[in-house]
């Protein structure tokens, strides 16, 4: 794979390398190196490969430790932390020659017959069909929505450009991939030195880096359908900004919650 326009199912292909160990590859992304969402998605895929199929993806908590190198394979080492009757827990470390680049915990649950309550309403936004595609890759479509109020907000419709099939694990992995695209926008939008809209990324005064990422999967989803990602920055302190948001179907069903902490550094000038 030489660019991010590769098919998503190809990116998720992992080769077994011993007990509970898998190796994956990744394309070089426009900014260089690997995309954090790809590493989380591959790590979740590796964890799911050690779990019985009746367990559905419940949550992911990941820490980005080092920037990935697209010229090297990534080795995913899975630890079977717990096998319960209702929940299964896995720990995953992604490694390259430099050392660990990601540490992640993943939880899986057997679906239970219980009451369902949704309290978060989907924001009233234009339909995706009325908006222009502004994605940076052919792998997925993105329809960005301009938000002036509340401050520090980022909203966009996202979906895979091609169906990954019917495997629910692949759709959960795809959401993990897509969910890393928008949080930095919310945090940068809240920064006091936010530049005027349309400023090229290489001319903005601050540079964002993802520190950690969490996803709670509430309901099954199809990542090749449109989903609204609506995130808001909950504050910036010690150069770290926290984005929290929700993912909705076009019908307004709340399918997932996402949070990410973003490190903000002043851009260095030559």
pLDDT at 105 over 90: yes
The DSSP letter of residue 216 is E
Helical axes 36-48 vs 168-178, angle rounded to 10°: 160
pLDDT at 58 over 70: yes
Instruction: Give residue-wise pLDDT tens across range 183-230.
Output: 999 999 898 877 666 666 667 778 889 999 999 999 999 999 999 999
The total number of residues written for the chain in this structure: 270
Which residue has tokens 């939880």?
A: 107
The end-to-end CA distance of the chain, in Å, is 33
Which range is least confidently modeled, 125-134, 172-181, 189-198? 189-198
Domain made up of 8-111+126-266: CATH architecture: Beta Barrel (2.40)
Beta strands of 51-112 (E only): which ranges? 55-64, 74-83, 87-96, 99-110
Domain boundaries, the chain: 8-111+126-266
The DSSP letter of residue 112 is -
3-state secondary structure (DSSP) of residue 100: strand
pLDDT at 266 over 60: yes
The DSSP letter of residue 20 is T
**∠ CA 209-211-213, rounded to 5°:** 115
Q: What would the mean pLDDT of 108-122 be, rounded to a whole number?
A: 95
Which residue has tokens 């999967």?
A: 217
- As given in the structure block, the two tokens for residue 270 are 């030559």
3-state secondary structure 234-262: EEEECCEEEEEEEEEECCCCEEEEEEEEE
Over the chain, what is the mean pLDDT?
92
Instruction: Give residue-wise pLDDT tens across range 241-257.
Output: 999 999 999 999 999 99
| pLDDT for res 2 | 42
The DSSP letter of residue 123 is P
């Amino acid at each position: 794979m030489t660019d991010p326009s590769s098919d998503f199912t190809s990116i998720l292909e992992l080769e077994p390398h011993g007990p509970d160990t898998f190796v994956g590859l990744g394309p070089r992304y426009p900014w260089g190196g690997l995309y954090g969402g790809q590493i989380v998605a591959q790590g979740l895929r590796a964890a799911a490969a050690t779990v019985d199929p009746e367990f559905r993806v419940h949550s992911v908590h990941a820490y980005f430790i080092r920037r990935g190198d697209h010229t090297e394979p990534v080795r995913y080492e899975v630890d079977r932390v717990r096998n319960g009757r209702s929940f299964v827990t896995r720990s995953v470390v992604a490694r390259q020659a430099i050392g660990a680049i990601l540490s992640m915990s993943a939880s899986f649950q057997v679906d239970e017959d219980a009451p369902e309550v949704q309290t978060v309403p989907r924001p009233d936004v234009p339909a995706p069909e009325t908006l222009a595609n502004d994605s940076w890759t052919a792998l997925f479509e993105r329809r960005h929505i301009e938000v002036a109020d509340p401050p520090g907000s980022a909203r966009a419709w996202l979906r895979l450009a091609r169906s990954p099939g019917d495997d629910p694990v692949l759709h959960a992995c795809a959401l993990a991939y897509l969910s890393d695209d928008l949080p930095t926008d919310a945090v940068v939008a809240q920064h006091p030195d936010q530049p005027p809209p349309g400023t090229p990324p290489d001319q903005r005064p601050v540079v964002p880096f993802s520190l950690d990422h969490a996803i709670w999967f509430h309901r099954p989803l199809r990542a090749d359908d449109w989903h609204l990602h609506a995130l808001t920055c909950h504050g910036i302190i010690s150069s770290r900004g926290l984005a929290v948001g929700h993912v909705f179907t076009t019908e307004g069903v709340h399918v997932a919650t996402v949070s990410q902490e973003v490190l903000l550094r002043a851009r260095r000038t030559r």
